[in-house]
Structure 1
């Protein structure tokens, strides 16, 4: 079968012929419907090096946002129907610690001892015709479109987890929120916020077309550049917003977040650019929080799928055939996508 392979550090992936995998005990073989291309993949083959350790070391198949149909059951698997469509929860922890017990493999206590971090992150992922998945990691899609659902396992789950943790700040009337960065995750974040909160949603990005897309989902666009923080303050009567979700994570965007957050508000850095910011007692609004989150829980993925099946959220996707999979990564790298690139090996 064909697969997109990460073969060496600082090396662009290649499409190769590999053997179709066989599911082990407790696993299923998933016939891939869609595999989302993520900026994390680009970081793996463009930025990371040997210092990342063995867990992410090449070679393996990329793709941690995956959906598909169960093709074959491994030994001991019950409660899963061959032919049914599922979304795959990507993280894989030890399965025994408190974090894994609550379905939060991303925060596994024994993560450093695991051979990989997730499907597509050290373990063969879904940028292929087939992949194996622990049956525990399957979330049923019912009759919902599995292709458009593929990005939900990261681009949907990651903002949902961050938003859910911030819900106490957004309860009640007159609340407001700012979304910074309107790529795949930011666009779905706007949809989630309008679906599960009553807050006024402001959204900003340097791309006018991205802000226009967010406006269609119910957000009020805020132009970037000089005076951006002043505009947000003006829109909120000088008080600032109750929550900020920064899907970029560079120093200038974090600074904007700090300038517009209200007293007792919450800033969540979701973007993994990893740039620093400064903080001091006198410039930080009283009791305003600055935190970060990573991915989410498998329970929350069930909730994301419920929103998707109810028509409350709908990822914007551009599909690519398997032969076009490398072009999907080029388009992602070059900033040509406002939604999510999804590779469809069996389209």
Structure 2
């Protein structure tokens, strides 16, 4: 079968032919119908050799949708031909966090060598993939897999980040979204669906700000050296109640901290290829501003997102690519020229 693999440190990913996998006990074989491409992949592939821990060759793709093709011995709980998406942050299933469905915070994954697909385990950028347990599959019914697969990370990560701050998003509140690409344009829609907050979006081009407006942002501001001052001006001098940074570079983190209001939440979601950090302490931030770095989301939250998708909440902007075009999609991801989320469709 064909797969997209990262094979050499510092080199571009390659489309290769590898053996079709066979599911073992308790496992599920999926015929992949769609696979998302993410900035996390780019981050991993830019790590130097002394920091790279994901194994080679690595079949990429931690956003996966597919149809159940085969069940391993003893596997129950899912039927052949069921259309599903894959919950990516696999855990042990039994620790305190996993018992709550929070496998993204599994306390034993590292100890047991459990890795997410595409981030250690073979991922979804292939014609077939192995899923280690049916509990990591969420049926999607008649939803379009291309439009739905980004919800497994680009939707789940901001959904998890936003849910924890919903008590602060009352009438008259403001949420600032920095970066309106794959995650950010979905965050805007989640904010509009779940809260009465005024949503203000920042990005570096007018085209990306146009996308933010199209999916529901009330106001947009160009993300430049004057961004913090312009956001404060747009807010009438008051700070925001929630700031979501989907870039995670030093300039955007600085902007996030500068526009956060008293008793606000600042949530840094993006991962920059260069070290970056928020400056926290007296006279460095608004009083009682909380700064956090979340990771992905829970299984229950992915189920909630799929329910919202069935209600027609999301307008997921995607660009589709054939398997052979996946390296080009990664080039465009790194160059910042994608509109929304890149999705590879193996059948093309």
TM-score (norm 2): 0.95
Matched residue count: 344
Q: 1: distance between equivalents of 2:225 and 2:13?
A: 39
Instruction: State whether structure 2 residue 290 is matched by structure 1 residue 258.
Output: no
CA separation of 1:164/1:283 partners in 2, compared to 1, >3 Å: closer, same or farther? same
CA separation of 1:339/1:149 partners in 2, compared to 1, >3 Å: closer, same or farther? same
1:17-56 correspondence to structure 2 within 5 Å: 17-53=17-53, 56=54
Structure 1 partner of 2:247: 248
- CA deviation after TM superposition for structure 1 residue 116, in Å: 4.2
1:167-316 correspondence to structure 2 within 5 Å: 167-170=166-169, 172-219=170-217, 220-273=219-272, 274-316=275-317
- Check conservation: 2:77, 2:134, Cα contact below 8 A: no
Unaligned runs of 5+ in 2: none
Structure 2 partner of 1:7: 7
- Check conservation: 2:257, 2:278, Cα contact below 8 A: no
Give the root-mean-square deviation of aligned CA atoms: 1.4
- Check conservation: 2:21, 2:130, Cα contact below 8 A: yes
Q: 1:304-327 CA distances to partner (integer Å, 9 max, x unpaired)? A: 111112110132111111111111
CA separation of 1:42/1:226 partners in 2, compared to 1, >3 Å: closer, same or farther? closer
Q: 2: distance between equivalents of 1:39 and 1:228?
A: 23
Q: 2: distance between equivalents of 1:310 and 1:103?
A: 23
- Check conservation: 1:50, 1:57, Cα contact below 8 A: no
- Check conservation: 2:92, 2:114, Cα contact below 8 A: no
Structure 2 partner of 1:344: 345
- Check conservation: 1:173, 1:199, Cα contact below 8 A: yes
Secondary structure of the corresponding residue to residue 122 of structure 1: coil
Q: 2: distance between equivalents of 1:290 and 1:46?
A: 26
CA separation of 1:344/1:310 partners in 2, compared to 1, >3 Å: closer, same or farther? same
Structure 1 partner of 2:330: 329
CA separation of 1:341/1:46 partners in 2, compared to 1, >3 Å: closer, same or farther? same
Q: 2: distance between equivalents of 1:50 and 1:116?
A: 21
CA separation of 1:123/1:117 partners in 2, compared to 1, >3 Å: closer, same or farther? same
- Check conservation: 1:68, 1:146, Cα contact below 8 A: yes
Structure 1 partner of 2:65: 67
Deviates more, 1:274-283 or 1:296-305: 274-283
